[in-house]
């Protein structure tokens, strides 16, 4: 009786519609990740024997892995707060009746639809040794800077990351601000609240949106490898040598055990961060209720 109740017409149709997506996800994501997780505990991919945590011990003992992990964590913890702050400020600004508001909204959304290769080409023109920025520095009597082969490389990558993703986060914040009931501000005005009190009310209302924006910003920070790789290659300056660089180099050298162990650790860290954010959001919702 329970099986027949479960397999009703609507359930069968829903399963049929979900089948292509679930099959694709299982074939291209879930099964390869499960196999990679298994490989990380063996000493070889073909007829390998169980090696316990020896691959993880070798990975943690690798100086290049520790450098890549540190650079990735540092980039995430610096760029994400910068991204959230900048996108929130722009959303609050564009919610007002500022000059060229519609044009500014379009300008910040354009990087979302521009291919990565085109973005990299634009930034190469700007930050090459003979690029636009160095030409300006030379005209003002300053020395040229080899941007992608110096400590400035991390600054360039951070600016690219913010420029590429700020439009999406701004849209999310702007939607949250415009969905806020006007009665909140009316009550605040009746009680004589000033601009800072109104800003605090807005920030409290936007906290659920902020959790989602922070999560998406963290996810996007791990995708900056594309721009970094196209700008500086597989062995960039030490400051922008990320986990994805390390895993890419392990793949090229066919060191599958270190590759799968590094990927498993990175996925584990991302899951811990995501679950922590979801738990904080649920706690905030219960507190507000």
In 168-177, which positions are buried (b, 16+ CB within 10 angstroms) versus exposed (e)?
bbbbbbbebb
Measured in degrees and rounded to the nearest 5, phi and psi for residue 53 equal: -100, 20
The strand pairing partners of 42, in sequence order, are 50
The pLDDT of 18-41, averaged and rounded, is: 88
Report which of residues 121 and 97 the model is more confident about: 121
Q: What is the DSSP letter of 42?
A: B
Percent of the chain clearing pLDDT 90 (strictly above):
12
pLDDT at 6 over 60: no
Residue bearing tokens 């996925």:
267
pLDDT at 102 over 70: no
The pLDDT of 193-215, averaged and rounded, is: 82
The pLDDT of 104-114, averaged and rounded, is: 72
Contacts 24+ apart (CB under 8 A), 30-36: 33/263, 33/267, 36/259, 36/260, 36/263, 36/264
Contact yes or no for 228/240 (Cβ under 8 A): yes
The pLDDT of 148-158, averaged and rounded, is: 88
pLDDT at 1 over 60: no
pLDDT at 2 over 70: no
The pLDDT of 101-123, averaged and rounded, is: 74
- Going from the C-alpha of 65 to that of each of 33, 118, 131, 263, the distances in angstroms are 20, 30, 32, 11
pLDDT at 98 over 80: no
Mean pLDDT, the chain, as a whole number? 83
Report which of residues 45 and 218 the model is more confident about: 218
Please tell me the distance from the alpha carbon of residue 224 to that of residue 196, in angstroms, as a whole number: 35
- Going from the C-alpha of 204 to that of each of 105, 178, 281, the distances in angstroms are 24, 14, 12
- Show the tokens assigned to 190: 């009746």
Please tell me the distance from the alpha carbon of residue 187 to that of residue 239, in angstroms, as a whole number: 50
Coil/strand/helix, residue 95: coil
Confidence grade of residue 289 (pLDDT, cut at 50, 70, 90)? low
pLDDT at 85: 92
- Going from the C-alpha of 150 to that of each of 66, 146, 219, 233, 281, the distances in angstroms are 20, 6, 26, 14, 40
pTM of the predicted protein model: 0.82
Q: What is the DSSP letter of 114?
A: S
Element containing residue 166 per DSSP (H, E): helix 153-178
- Show the tokens assigned to 55: 């691959």
Q: What is the DSSP letter of 131?
A: S
- Delineate the domains of the chain, giving CATH numbers in brackets: 63-288 (1.10.3720.10)
The strand pairing partners of 50, in sequence order, are 42
Q: How many helices (H) and strands (E) does the chain have?
A: 15, 0
pLDDT at 79: 92
pLDDT at 29 over 70: yes
pLDDT at 121 over 60: yes
Please tell me the distance from the alpha carbon of residue 88 to that of residue 262, in angstroms, as a whole number: 34
Contact yes or no for 124/131 (Cβ under 8 A): yes
pLDDT at 101 over 70: no
Summarize pLDDT for 124-145 with one digit per residue, the tens: 888 888 888 888 888 888 888 8
pLDDT at 46 over 70: yes
pLDDT at 17 over 80: yes
| Range picked from 101-110, 177-186, 278-287 for highest mean pLDDT | 278-287
């Amino acid at each position: 009786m329970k099986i027949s109740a479960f397999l009703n017409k609507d359930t069968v149709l829903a399963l049929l519609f979900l089948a292509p997506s679930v099959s694709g996800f299982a074939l291209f994501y879930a099964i390869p990740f499960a196999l990679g997780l298994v490989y990380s505990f063996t000493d070889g991919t073909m007829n390998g024997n169980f090696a316990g945590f020896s691959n993880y011990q070798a990975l943690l003992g690798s100086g290049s892995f520790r450098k890549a992990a540190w650079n990735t964590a540092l980039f995430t913890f610096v760029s994400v707060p910068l991204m959230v702050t900048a996108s929130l400020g722009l959303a609050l600004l564009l919610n007002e009746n500022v000059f060229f508001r519609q044009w500014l909204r379009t300008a910040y959304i354009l990087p979302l639809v521009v291919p990565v290769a085109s973005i990299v080409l634009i930034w190469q023109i700007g930050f090459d040794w003979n690029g636009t920025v160095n030409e300006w520095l030379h005209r003002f009597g300053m020395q040229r800077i080899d941007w992608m082969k110096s400590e400035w490389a991390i600054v360039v990558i951070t600016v690219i990351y913010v420029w590429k993703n700020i439009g999406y986060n701004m849209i999310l914040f702007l939607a949250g601000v415009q969905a806020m009931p006007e009665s909140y501000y009316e009550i605040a005005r009746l009680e004589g609240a000033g601009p800072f009190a109104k800003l605090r009310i807005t920030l409290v209302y936007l906290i659920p949106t902020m959790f989602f924006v922070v999560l998406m910003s963290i996810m996007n920070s791990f995708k900056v490898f594309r721009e970094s790789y196209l700008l500086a290659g597989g062995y960039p300056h030490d400051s922008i040598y990320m986990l994805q660089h390390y895993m890419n180099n392990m793949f090229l050298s066919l060191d599958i055990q270190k590759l799968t162990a590094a990927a498993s650790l990175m996925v584990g860290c991302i899951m811990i961060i995501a679950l922590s954010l979801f738990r904080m959001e649920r706690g905030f919702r219960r507190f507000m209720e």
